[in-house]
Each structure stands twice: as C-alpha cells, then as structure tokens.
Amino acid sequence: MNYYSLNRKAPQTTFADAVVRGLAPDKGLYFPESITPLEASFFETIKDKSNAEIAFEAIKQFIVPEIPEAVLKTIVEDTLNFDFPIVNIDKNISTLELFHGPTMAFKDVGARFMARCLGYFNKNNTNEVTVLVATSGDTGGAVANGFLGVKGVNVVILYPSGKVSDIQEKQLTTLGQNITALEVDGVFDDCQDMVKRAFMDDELTSKMQLTSANSINVARWLPQLFYYLFAYKQLKGTYKDISFSIPSGNFGNICAGMVAQKLGLPVKHFIASNNANDTVVKYMDTKSYEPKPSVQTISNAMDVGNPSNFIRIQELHNNDFEVLKANLSSYSFSDTDTKTALLELFKDYNYIADPHGAVGYLGAKTYLETNDSHVVFLETAHPTKFLDVVEAVIEEKVELPKQIESVIHKKKVAIPINSYDALKSFLIERA
C-alpha cells in the first residue's frame, strides 16, 4: 500500500515512511492510495470473530507486507487488551465505551498501535525519532503511556496551560523516562500551530527526525476504524439501521469510521457532535469552510477551531459536498446543553457520562428528532477524568478507577514555553 499527500505535491511513499514522517514533504496529510472493501462474508460472520481477528483483517491491507502478518497480529493483540462494551441507554440510543484502556480515553488504541509500529520500524535504527504532539486533553496521556520506554523514541507533548483537566495533566506530566511535557501559554490551536511550524522548519528537521502522534499520523488515525466494527459486532441482527454520533474535535475518529464504511461496514449515517467550536457545523450549513480560534469549553478535547482531519473526510467523499452532506450531519452544543445532558443521562438512565460523551448523546438525540435509526454515541473518556464538572452536575461522588488513582498524587513535571522560538530552542538543544 502506498500513501499520497493530500496536497498532491509530494511523491507517493510507503506506510513506514508515512508513519516516520508524520506529514508529507509538501506538508500535506498522508492518505492511502486505495481502500478495498472486505468480503461480504467478513461482516456476515463478524460475531464469530475476536476483536483482534476483526481488527487484523480490517487494517492489514494498509500495512502488510511492510509489517509482516505475524508481527501485525501481535501488534493488534497487544493494542487491544481491554474491552469495548456497548451499553444501552434507551431503545433508540446506546453508547460504545472506549475508555477501558490504560489512560481511560479512546486515544489509547491509536497511540498504542502507532507506538508499536514505530518501535518495529525503529528497532534496527541507531537514529532517534522525536514524536512531537499537541494535545487538547486526552491525546497527551495516551501518547505518553503508549510510547513510554519505546527504544529510540523521544516524546515531546505540548499542552495548553490551564485548559486540560487536572487528571489529564497528571497523565502526561508524571511519567518521566522518554516523555517530556511542555506547558504552553495559550490555547490548543497555539500548540498545534507550533507543531505544524516545527515540521515546516528546514533548519530544525535537518538536525532531527520529527514525527507526530496526533491523528494526522496514519498509524494513529487508521486504527480508530476498529471501534465501529466492534460496535457492529455487538449490535448485528438487533437493529436494521445503525448510525454513529461521534464527539468531534480534530475529526480523526469520525474520519476513521468513514474508512470502516468504505471497507463495507453498513452505516446509515454519521453525526459529528461538536461543542462551541463549530467550524464544521457552519461549513455543512454554508459550504464555506472558515477556521477560527478555538473556544474553551468543558469538553476540552474537542476545543479545535481548525480540525486537521476534515480534509481527509472530504477526500473520502471525492470532495463532493452533496455526497458528504448525505453521509454526515453536524450539530453544535453549548456547555449548558452539555451539563443538562450529563444530568439527564444520570437521572433518567443511571448512566454517568463524561462531557464529551454527553455531547455525543445530544447529537444522537438531535438526529433522531427527524430520522429513524439506532444511534450509537461514542463515550470517549472516563467521567473521572473530568471530576470537577461531572460531580458538580450530578451531585454525586464518582469512584476513581485504578488507572486514575495511580497518577493523581504524582508530581507534575512540565517545562513552560510561550513561543515557537522557545520550542525550537528546546528541541535543538536536545538534537
């Protein structure tokens, strides 16, 4: 499988090169040259397969033979050593819980998968690779945990000061070893802009090998397609039509779901559920794509004003707005709406959601006002990662799981920076 740049000004390349580079030389996102649908029998017998078997069959076309089948099977099994349960909310809505991994966020799968792929490609390489990543919340902790101790890989995480939850901050600032956290005086978009600028800085990239572990990296982005297959496995035969409501920030997760659809997964519709950061909502209404500075909300992992992966979504739909509109709806909800949904889920259904899942629930409800389907909303993080918000809304104490308990009392270690020049100086000193 070759990968091409969506800027279309760089040569095609291999999966290995796409993973190590992160971005193409023309600064475009990589995209697979083809997506071959799986055999119909794969979906007919999906209930008989393990999660690891499903995932391997779905992703191998994008990776084999650069990673041999036997190695890829091991990577998949190591990545997926936790559960992905469906929980019914009512007869029309259920949730897919994606928070049962080591950092209790959906990004554990992509981070663990990419770390193992990069470790394989780097196993005989004497040169170190620096993974440079911006986070609005859960990416940082998942990447830190996934890459901890990986040979030949250093991880530098940029996060916006005061704009991630206390637990999210602890998860990305307390591990040490090959993980360094940089606390940025700014918002997530500032962090993301610094990372993008670093990749475009010839002086910097001539001195060190940089790659990214945001969902712009194909090895972080593609494994997220597993979630939709796991949901279908559990729901097949129960509902005629299944749609998905995805809390969306950088749009990598929902984009991966659309890849699963291209593989043959029967999905009626996708719903991008957004907080106040409504760039895509307005685009779907106006056909005018106008990125803007991000707005801080209680669903902070979605505080993205210029979602990187939306260009991949457009590519999947042949850059045809009407085709995209037939497959995607997008709604925006306020913090007040989100808190109302958190309370409704708790009072009416005895379900404790996190703010991102609550936004997904709102998207499901809104879609069902005018459409018939069973809608699965993705619950992307454990509610205890947002204790201050969740406990204040439901007026109940939420018990801390062991994954959170293990980091909450550790000492934060982070380096403050306030400009790209400060980031560049830090990286060059380490080169």
- Distance, CA of 39 to chain centre: 27
The token pair at 51 is: 């999660």
Using H for helix, E for strand and C for coil, what is the string for 137-174? CHHHHHHHHHHCCCCCEEEEEEEECCCCCHHHHHHHHC
pLDDT at residue 40 in the model: 96
pTM of the model: 0.91
9, burial (CB in 10 Å: exposed 0-12, middle 13-18, buried 19+): exposed
Q: What are the sequence ranges of the domains in the chain?
A: 84-106+221-399
pLDDT at residue 283 in the model: 97
Instruction: Say if CB 80 and CB 51 are below 8 A apart.
Output: yes
Distance CA 218, CA 319 (A): 20
What are the pLDDT tens digits along the chain (431 aa)? 999 999 999 999 999 999 988 889 898 999 999 999 999 999 999 999 999 999 999 999 999 999 999 999 999 999 999 999 999 999 999 999 999 998 889 999 999 999 999 889 887 776 788 999 888 777 788 888 888 888 888 999 999 998 888 888 998 898 888 999 999 999 888 998 899 899 889 899 888 988 888 888 999 999 999 999 999 999 999 998 999 999 999 999 999 999 999 999 999 999 999 999 999 999 999 999 999 888 889 998 899 999 999 999 999 999 999 999 999 999 999 999 999 999 999 999 999 999 999 999 999 999 999 999 999 999 999 999 888 899 999 999 988 888 888 888 888 999 999 999 999 999 998 87
pLDDT at residue 385 in the model: 86
Q: Does domain 84-106+221-399 have CATH number 3.30.365.10?
A: no
pLDDT at residue 402 in the model: 85
pLDDT at residue 211 in the model: 86
Among all chains, which residue has been given the structure tokens 């709806």? 329
CA angle 262, 268, 272 (to 5 degrees): 85
pLDDT at residue 400 in the model: 86
Q: Which residues are catalytic?
A: 107
CA angle 248, 254, 255 (to 5 degrees): 125
The token pair at 258 is: 């659309």
The token pair at 287 is: 């056909």
| Strand 415-417, strand 13-14: pairing | unpaired
